[in-house]
Amino acid sequence: MTRIPLLGRRRRALPVAAPAVALALALTMSACSQTQTTSHKSSADVAGKEVTTIPIGDQKIRDGGTLTMGLSADPDALDPTTSSSLYTRYVMETMCQKLYDTDAQGAIVPMLATALPTLSDGGKVASFAIKQGVKFADGTPLDAAAVVTTLKRDLTKSDSARASELGSLQKIQASGKYQVTLTFKTPFAPLAASLADRAGMIMSPAALAKEGDHFADHPVCVGPFKFVNRVPATSITVEKDPNYYDAKDVHLDKIVYKIITDSSIRAANLKSGDVQIADSIAPSDVDDLKADKDLTVMQVGSYGYQGIQVNIANQHGVGTPPAQIDTPLAKSAEVRQALSMAIDRDQLVQSVFQGYYDPACSPISPTSAYATGASKACPPYDPAKAKKMLEDAGVKLPLKIRMQTTNTPSSLQLAQAIQAQVKQAGFDLQIDPVEYTTLLDNDDSGKFETIQLGWSGRVDPNGNTFNFLTTGAGNNYSGYSNKRVDQLLTAASSTTDTAKRAQLYGQAIAQVQKDNPIIYLYRQRNLTGVSKKLAGVSVYPDGVVRISGAAFLAQG
Amino acid sequence: MARYLLTRLWQSLVTVVISSIVVFVGVRMLPGDPAVSLAGEEASPARLAAVRAELGLDQPIWVQYAKFVWTYLHGDFGRSLRTGTPVGEMLRTTLPVTLWLAAYALVIAVVLGLTLGVIAERFRGRWPEWGANGVAMVGLSVPSFWLGLLAILLLSVQHHVFPASGYVPMTQNPVDALYHLTLPAVILAIALAAVVMRQTRASMIATMQSDFIRTDRAKGLGRRRVLLKYGVRNSLIVVVTIVGLQLGGLISGAVVTESIFGLPGFGKLTLNSVFTRDYPVIEAVVLLITVGYVVINLAVDVLYSVLNPRIRVAGDA
């Protein structure tokens, strides 16, 4: 399920401050002082307010210039139909606009479409109009037929990664020159959210006809910038597109995405000025960057999560019928609940991530429109009770469990912190560090007892729950199966009323927290380092760093 | 002679074929296939199966191998599974970077190593020798990724002397290209320079105590002249041998250096392709290295046999 290894590779020792603080405290108290000092900062203090946008506002800008962005991973094929990398979305943001977009609050807004889809026939037919007078980078005009060509490719291409995001889509029609009508077998609530992601990126039909399967060699879409070239594993360059319909709001001449996978080297490049913006800053580098007078750090909570997947019944690979595994952890929901209660999530994010990440207990982010009291609930941290539950379950203590994790220093540090915490409740956690692709393979094939992984998150809650928690679903790595959860999540995915949907998700999560197929741990924040010479940058909760409207400030 | 050449050519061909099989089977034995890596966090059994079918990974391995050989014989190295870029193009863009980097590093290593080695000999038992020894010890024992990070922090972040990353092609602007390559080349060169320094020093000490040097000195030649003209020249033989042996290390060191400094080189390509299980790229890269080694070996053997007829006789036997 995760597929995001922990960001940040810089090795950092666990804080040794705790004993020092205790000593300092004891000293000050014995001196009868009223002032207590503590270095243990609360999450809110350190992380502070979310910063989603650095607006241009009234500042004087200069047109032109080349912006270099440090990208933390190499995108995969620059093809909206087949891509499955988050970083491809970063690059596509400047050269491949979508039918819809997400705004700072996570709401869906029209981009190439003119309004949200209108639904009819009980939600089975969706219709929307698209902007007129828009041209692709190769000069081809954008019309409904082009949208149909793209969506058909997304739906039918054999290696499409989009087909599953389009629900039960059956018919795609151009019902007018600029009007598209989609017909579904069953109502599909997350449609607009899907079209605000890669499924909504419209490709030039002329380029598709010319390049076919090799569209990624020379991607052509509608966007403020157009593709120039890609140097393997090194950089991707885009330049201002004169055909863009809103060219007056485009200030830069060129953007170079430079791939720098090591987080401390990304930070160093920011400080030296070689890159002016970089994504996925490691929490351990944030304070250092903030202290630099030329830099600032944007932070936005993500819709994703990190957690521990417990293998309950995945014996023959994900997607096969569940086959119960015969260990106390797999068989007993109480034992899993005890494990969840043995983890002090607040302390975890403090000690491992300097408080820049947020504790999490559910797949639905508290900032989501679908968050409810039920989805925000957290099991109490109570190691004593956890131990009692283990004893009541008749488990011989200490209970040995193995946890696989990626072999990066920060993943290991997290695993060690968890290991130390759960020991108090009677768990003997053994850590198996595994190389990333191998870890994914073990996850798929069920070769694990527990795995520490996460999920990058989607705007619509369906994308964060359904495939992971319903029986036999494609990403249900735990082999979890609960009829009630299946029903609730299925009902939620076809309910279009926000309040009703939120309630259904709340009920499903309450059940999931009893069963704990995934023990949710924390939610990352998207930490983006930005030069103070730059404005017009935003990062929204979908995690994509938006730089197409960026500009350099005029000097002086 | 012709027969010897034919034998050697035949042996080389067999070596290449065997290594192609080893590489082909080897990468497929790594846990986690490209479909898993490609599908990333969005992997579902249906998607994985679709990707495998698309890539031909669901076919028997000998069918895959036959296809692989067939396309190679047609001069087509396939396309990257991850990005869809033709592998031939990837090799063409990345190889020059690594070759320039390695050549530059080699020059730095030899110049630095020789100089320090000679200084160490000339000032034996005094502080310049200790200094040179210290530099060599640090160069050998401190890992290059750490030195690279320190260099970036000091020379790029604090004092903007060199860029922290980036690459300018030699054909575009040689001066700028060398400027961008200097820091990575120095970091790559340091370990080799240390080896060269130690060898030079040892061989200089031996040479300077040998009879012919004593004779030269006895004939009234100045110490400096003897040192530079006869001592250094004699030690060069050792240095050349060492450098030849260490060339492979230079290429593998480039993997680390290129990653740190964001150079679009061969080493970085190799590393990335292994991490993402990009089979066509791994195969092309490893085969290219194999062929490189085989060709050099062949050339050396042929050269030996030209120089030394006894080897030719052995080959004929």
- In this prediction, residues A195-199 reach a mean pLDDT of 93
Nearest residue of B to residue A454, measured between CA atoms:
B41
Q: Name residues 292-311 of chain B within 8 A of A (Cβ).
A: none
CA distances to B218, B225, B229 from B222, rounded to whole Å, are 10, 5, 11
The amino acid at residue A151 is L
Nearest residue of B to residue A439, measured between CA atoms:
B32
Rounded Cα–Cα distance for residues A540 and A547 (Å): 12
pLDDT in tens, B250-294: 877 888 888 888 888 888 888 888 888 889 999 998 888 888 878
- In this prediction, residues A9-28 reach a mean pLDDT of 37
Output the pLDDT for position B308.
Answer: 63
pLDDT in tens, A336-384: 999 999 999 999 999 999 999 999 999 999 988 899 998 899 999 999 9
A33 pLDDT higher than 50: no
Output the pLDDT for position A140.
Answer: 95
Q: What secondary structure does DSSP assign to A378-392, as a single string?
A: -----HHHHHHHHHH
Q: List CB contacts (< 8 A) between A259 and chain B.
A: 262
Three-class secondary structure assignment of A6-53: CCCCCCCCCCCHHHHHHHHHHHHHHCCCCCCCCCCCCHHHHHCCCCCE
Output the pLDDT for position A207.
Answer: 96
Nearest-neighbour CA in chain B from A145: distance (Å): 27
Give me the percent of chain B exceeding a pLDDT of 90: 9
Nearest to B42 among A84, A232, A258 (CB): A84
Give me the percent of chain A exceeding a pLDDT of 90: 67
Rounded Cα–Cα distance for residues A99 and A197 (Å): 9
- In this prediction, residues A98-105 reach a mean pLDDT of 90
Q: List CB contacts (< 8 A) between A274 and chain B.
A: 156, 163-166
Output the pLDDT for position A459.
Answer: 82
pLDDT in tens, A81-94: 988 888 899 999 99
A409 pLDDT higher than 50: yes
Pick from A15-19, A277-281, B25-29, B197-201: least confident: A15-19
Reported confidence tier of residue B42, pLDDT bands at 50, 70, 90: low
Output the pLDDT for position B317.
Answer: 40
Q: List CB contacts (< 8 A) between A265 and chain B.
A: 149, 152, 164-165, 260, 262
- In this prediction, residues B103-110 reach a mean pLDDT of 91
Pick from A25-29, A213-217, A422-426: least confident: A25-29
Reported confidence tier of residue B160, pLDDT bands at 50, 70, 90: confident
Reported confidence tier of residue B307, pLDDT bands at 50, 70, 90: low
B248 pLDDT higher than 90: no
Rounded Cα–Cα distance for residues A379 and A370 (Å): 20
Nearest-neighbour CA in chain B from A258: distance (Å): 8
Check CB contact of B93 with chain A, cutoff 8 Å.
yes
Nearest to A158 among B39, B50, B268 (CB): B50
Output the pLDDT for position A344.
Answer: 96
Reported confidence tier of residue A311, pLDDT bands at 50, 70, 90: very high
Q: List CB contacts (< 8 A) between A319 and chain B.
A: 44-46
Three-class secondary structure assignment of A174-240: EEECCEEEEEECCCCCCHHHHHCCHHHECECHHHHHHHHHHHHHCCCECCCEEEEEEECCCEEEEEE
Output the pLDDT for position B156.
Answer: 83
Provide φ and ψ at A393, rounded to 5°.
-75, -5
Rounded Cα–Cα distance for residues A20 and A488 (Å): 50
Rounded Cα–Cα distance for residues A77 and A160 (Å): 12
Assembly ipTM? 0.73
A27 pLDDT higher than 60: no
Pick from A92-96, B130-134, B161-165, B309-313: least confident: B309-313
CA A443 to chain centre: 19
Pick from A142-146, A182-186, B255-259: least confident: B255-259
Nearest residue of B to residue A77, measured between CA atoms:
B83
Nearest to B272 among A233, A435, A473 (CB): A233
- In this prediction, residues A166-175 reach a mean pLDDT of 92
Strand, coil or helix: A327: coil
Nearest-neighbour CA in chain B from A84: distance (Å): 6
Residue pair B43/A444 in contact (Cβ under 8 Å)? The answer is: yes
Token digits of residue B273: 């392709």
Look at B84 and A217 and tell me if their CB atoms are within 8 Å.
Answer: yes
pLDDT in tens, A66-84: 999 999 988 988 999 988 8
A23 pLDDT higher than 70: no
Nearest residue of B to residue A319, measured between CA atoms:
B45
Q: List CB contacts (< 8 A) between B161 and chain A.
A: none
CA distances to A369, B85, B263 from B91, rounded to whole Å, are 48, 11, 14
Pick from A87-96, A413-422, A486-495, B163-172: least confident: B163-172
Reported confidence tier of residue A6, pLDDT bands at 50, 70, 90: very low
Reported confidence tier of residue B301, pLDDT bands at 50, 70, 90: confident
The alpha helices in A395-551, defined as continuous H runs, are 409-423, 436-445, 462-469, 483-493, 498-515
Q: List CB contacts (< 8 A) between A473 and chain B.
A: 44
Check CB contact of B270 with chain A, cutoff 8 Å.
no
Interface residue of B36, B149, B161 to substitute, partner A, most A CBs within 10 Å: B36
Residue pair A527/A281 in contact (Cβ under 8 Å)? The answer is: yes
Check CB contact of B149 with chain A, cutoff 8 Å.
yes
Output the pLDDT for position A34.
Answer: 35
Pick from A328-337, A481-490, B130-139: least confident: B130-139
Query: Number of C-alpha atoms within 13 angstroms, CB side, residue B181?
Result: 27
Please count the other Cβ atoms lying within 10 Å of the Cβ belonging to residue B218. 8
Q: Specify burial of residue A70 (Cβ count, 10 A radius: 0-12, 13-18, 19+).
A: buried
Nearest to B54 among A158, A259, A275 (CB): A158
Check CB contact of B33 with chain A, cutoff 8 Å.
yes
A239 pLDDT higher than 60: yes
Look at B166 and A274 and tell me if their CB atoms are within 8 Å.
Answer: yes
Check CB contact of B91 with chain A, cutoff 8 Å.
no
Rounded Cα–Cα distance for residues A365 and A306 (Å): 12
A243 pLDDT higher than 90: yes
pLDDT in tens, B44-69: 777 788 778 877 888 898 999 998 89
Rounded Cα–Cα distance for residues B181 and A443 (Å): 41
Residue pair B202/B164 in contact (Cβ under 8 Å)? The answer is: no
Check CB contact of B31 with chain A, cutoff 8 Å.
yes
Rounded Cα–Cα distance for residues A358 and A361 (Å): 10
Write down the pTM of the prediction. Answer: 0.80
Nearest residue of B to residue A4, measured between CA atoms:
B41
B129 pLDDT higher than 70: yes
Output the pLDDT for position A24.
Answer: 39
Nearest-neighbour CA in chain A from B90: distance (Å): 6
CA B283 to chain centre: 18
pLDDT in tens, A214-227: 999 999 999 999 99
Q: List CB contacts (< 8 A) between B160 and chain A.
A: 272-273
A35 pLDDT higher than 60: no
Output the pLDDT for position A248.
Answer: 86
Token digits of residue B6: 């034919």
